[in-house]
Amino acid sequence: MASPELTELTSTRSPRVAAARRLAKRAFRADERRFLAEGPQAVREAAALPGTLVELYATVETAERYPDIVDAARAARVPVLYATNEVVAAISQTVTPQGIVALCRFVDVPLASLTEAGAPDLVAVLAHVRDPGNAGTVLRAADAAGAEAVVLTDASVDLYNPKTVRASVGSLFHLPVVVGAHIEDTVAGLRAAGLRILAADGAGAADLDDELDAGGLDGPTAWIFGNEAWGLPEEIRALADAVVRVPIHGRAESLNLATAAAVCLYASARAQRGASGCRTAAGR
């Protein structure tokens, strides 16, 4: 039975459901500056970021399973709406909905904000990354490695694409993310703040292991990662202080984008680690 504190939604044709469903399209997301986050992990992290949640939709069973999420939404005075499985499925963009969906405000930040409080130690820049799953996975890897920001250039996939949001598994809400930045402006701003700019490319002249051994990753660093199929164009490679390849010690032809990004970011995190242990991001 539904809790009396929950507003009940039973019709997939209700205006509220229709408004949420249309956020599957980029144009509507951009107009309203809102997007959907699905699943308990992503919704929990969204609820922990003040001012992010707009509405919470959940089945009664899911609401009872994750009372912490419901309590956080209520504490933030966010409407919590009980919905049938059919309604949640209608809003969700997954084949097997997890029973909980949050309507969220955009969380991206301006490029200039990344250096307002001083130079970040580690930044991931996604240039021409078109696959939403890869973009979300790189964002998650950057978060795990302790990066302090992620930049998606104007030639990359929409940060709020449902697949990108799902692949980030909540990391979207953990660190500042810039969207729509020009690569030249990004490189110029980060270099002016004192970061070394490294482009990750399988054909790079520099070897990641050699860079690590020589101390080339010890200082503040921004990694540029390129397109999944054709890597980085020459004009972007030319912007970097060095073009670095991840060494292939076995017989694999190459590494995919997300794996290579994780290796590079963790190499920097290791090099920047202090005597007290692993470095951690400063947070949003």
* pLDDT tops 50 at residue 1: no
Token pair 């904000």 in the structure block, residue: 113
* pLDDT tops 50 at residue 275: no
Burial 51-81 (b: 16+ CB within 10 A, else e): ebbbbbbbbbebbeebeebbebbeeeebebb
Q: pLDDT band for position 2 (50/70/90)? A: very low
Determine which of 111-115, 144-148, 280-284 has the lowest per-residue pLDDT on average.
Answer: 280-284
Return the closest-CA partner of residue 225 out of 259, 252, 194: 259
Residues 6+ apart with CB under 8 A from 56: 43, 47, 69, 70, 73, 78, 79, 80, 81, 100, 101, 102, 103
To the nearest whole number, what is the mean pLDDT of the chain? 92
Spell out the domain ranges in the chain.
Answer: 7-105, 111-271
Residues above pLDDT 70, as percent of the chain: 94
What is the mean predicted confidence (pLDDT) over 62-72? Answer: 96
* CATH class of the domain at 111-271: alpha beta
pLDDT at 236: 95
Give per-residue pLDDT as tens, 166-175.
Answer: 999 999 999 9
* pLDDT tops 50 at residue 190: yes
* pLDDT tops 60 at residue 34: yes
Determine which of 75-79, 125-129, 177-181, 279-283 has the lowest per-residue pLDDT on average.
Answer: 279-283
pLDDT at 229: 82
What six digits make up the tokens of 39?
Answer: 């699943």
Residues 6+ apart with CB under 8 A from 84: 9, 10, 59
Q: pLDDT band for position 282 (50/70/90)? A: very low
* pLDDT tops 60 at residue 180: yes
Determine the 3-state secondary structure of 174 from DSSP.
coil
> Which superfamily, per CATH, for 7-105?
Ribosomal protein L30/S12 (3.30.1330.30)
pLDDT at 4: 41
pLDDT at 7: 55
pLDDT at 12: 87
> CA angle 237-216-174, nearest 5°?
75
* pLDDT tops 60 at residue 18: yes
- The pTM of this model reads 0.91
pLDDT at 96: 85
Q: pLDDT band for position 280 (50/70/90)? A: low
Burial (0-12, 13-18, 19+ Cβ within 10 Å), 31: exposed
What is the mean predicted confidence (pLDDT) over 13-32? Answer: 94
pLDDT at 254: 87
Asked whether the beta carbons of 55 and 19 are under 8 A apart, the reply is: no
